């Protein structure tokens, strides 16, 4: 790829990486790394570029998430992860909200410091098997009973890819509760502007010097571009060829995988 073609790769100081579908495909067996991604992360760090993992992962705590990634060969630390649950806790404390949690069991420790008695809002995460009719109905009843219902969603993804196929994501259940309660959810993870902005602030890099790399055309690419960043779509994870004809979102470039993106970016440094 000649320098002329890679104008999008210039003047970069920080990279924001989506995790699932870019670094690895998750799965019941712990998941599998995407070829070349662990080496690409090592090269980013060796180059001196700032690195931030921007994930909407809400099935586990950041500690366990990082432990899993390290087990797959990725040299990353909790300090490099921007995730929805801690961001949500910040908002809950700020606004004196007491959540009813409809989240994955493994995520609950992230909310340890938060008062959950007599809830005045609902927090929704990727609860996977916990998305039963009974649990959704309980959240619905709480919301519909509130004078001013507050629904906070840790993302709005439609689906994601695991090793055994595509899985429904939190956004589908968010829409169900929005529809039933006639309420608009507040999204805390990607593609919310505040989420990307906090990742940039943690890196100390302005948006025009950062590139987001993701497999989700709407939440990764579209969200980052709306914050003034460049954004690349990888052809891994849940990428589908139809993404290349998306009516609203046009990535700054398509790359086959993270390794290819890193090659091009490092050539420009």
What number is the average pLDDT over the span 83-102? 97
Which percentage of the chain shows pLDDT scores above 70? 98
pLDDT recorded at residue 30: 87
CATH of 11-56+190-246, one of 3.40.50.1000, 2.30.29.30, 2.40.50.100, 3.20.20.70: 3.40.50.1000
Pairwise CA distance, residues 259 & 67, whole Å: 22
Give the strands of the sheet with 230-234, arranged side by side. Answer: 81-82, 50-54, 14-17, 210-214, 230-234, 253-255
Mean pLDDT of 228-249: 97
How confident is residue 1, by pLDDT bands cut at 50, 70 and 90? Answer: very low
**Cβ pair 211, 232 in contact under 8 A:** yes
Q: How confident is the model over 132-160, as pLDDT tens digits? A: 999 999 999 999 999 999 999 999 999 99
Q: Kind of pairing, strands 121-124 and 151-153? A: parallel
pLDDT at residue 29 in the model: 86
pLDDT tens for 8-50 read 999 999 999 999 999 999 998 889 999 999 999 999 999 999 9
Write down the pLDDT at residue 75.
Answer: 97
Task: Specify the pLDDT at position 155.
Answer: 97
pLDDT digits (tens, 9 = 90+) for 198-217: 999 999 999 999 999 999 99
- Residue 5: predicted pLDDT: 62
Is the pLDDT score of 115 beyond 50?
yes
Mean pLDDT of 219-237: 98
Q: How confident is the model at residue 6 (pLDDT cuts 50, 70, 90)?
A: confident
Residue 100 has pLDDT above 80, yes or no: yes
Q: What is the mean pLDDT of residues 74-82?
A: 97
User: What is the maximum alpha-carbon separation in the chain?
Assistant: 60
Class of domain 94-187: alpha beta
In the chain, residues under CATH classification 3.40.50.1000 are 11-56+190-246, 94-187
Q: What is the mean pLDDT of the chain?
A: 96
Q: Is the pLDDT of residue 51 over 90?
A: yes
pLDDT of residue 2: 47
Q: Where are the beta strands (DSSP E) in the chain?
A: 14-17, 24-25, 32-33, 50-54, 81-82, 99-102, 121-124, 151-153, 159-162, 165-168, 186-187, 210-214, 230-234, 253-255
pLDDT over 60 (residue 3):
no
Percent of the chain at pLDDT exceeding 90: 96
Q: Tell me: pLDDT of 189 over 80.
A: yes
| Sign of the dihedral defined by the CA atoms of residues 227, 157, 182, 123, in that order | negative
Taking the C-alpha atoms of residue 161 and residue 179, their distance in angstroms, rounded to an integer, is: 26
pTM above the 0.75 mark? Answer: yes
* Backbone φ, ψ for residue 36 (5° rounding): 85, -10
């Amino acid at each position: 790829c000649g320098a002329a073609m890679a104008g999008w790769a210039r003047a970069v100081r920080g990279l924001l990486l989506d995790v699932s579908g870019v670094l690895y495909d998750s799965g019941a067996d712990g998941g599998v790394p995407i070829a070349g991604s662990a080496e690409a992360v090592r090269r980013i760090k060796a180059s001196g570029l700032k690195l931030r993992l921007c994930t909407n992962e809400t099935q586990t705590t950041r500690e366990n998430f990082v432990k899993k990634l390290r087990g797959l060969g990725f040299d990353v630390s909790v300090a490099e992860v921007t995730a929805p649950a801690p961001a949500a806790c910040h908002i809950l404390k700020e606004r004196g909200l007491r959540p009813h949690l409809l989240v994955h069991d493994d995520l609950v420790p992230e909310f340890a410091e938060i008062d959950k008695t007599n809830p005045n809002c609902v927090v929704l995460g990727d609860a996977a098997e916990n998305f039963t009719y009974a649990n959704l109905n309980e959240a619905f009843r709480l919301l519909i009973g509130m004078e001013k219902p507050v629904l906070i969603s840790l993302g709005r993804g439609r689906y994601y890819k695991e090793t055994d196929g595509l899985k429904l994501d939190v956004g589908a259940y968010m829409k169900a509760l929005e529809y039933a309660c006639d309420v608009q959810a507040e999204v805390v993870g990607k593609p919310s502007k505040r989420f990307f902005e906090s990742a940039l602030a943690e890196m100390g890099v302005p948006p025009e010097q950062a590139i987001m790399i993701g497999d989700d055309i709407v939440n990764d690419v579209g969200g980052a571009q709306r914050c003034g960043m460049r954004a690349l779509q990888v052809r891994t994870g849940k990428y589908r060829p139809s993404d290349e004809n998306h009516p609203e979102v046009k990535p700054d470039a398509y790359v086959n995988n993270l390794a290819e993106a890193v090659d091009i970016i490092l050539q420009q440094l």
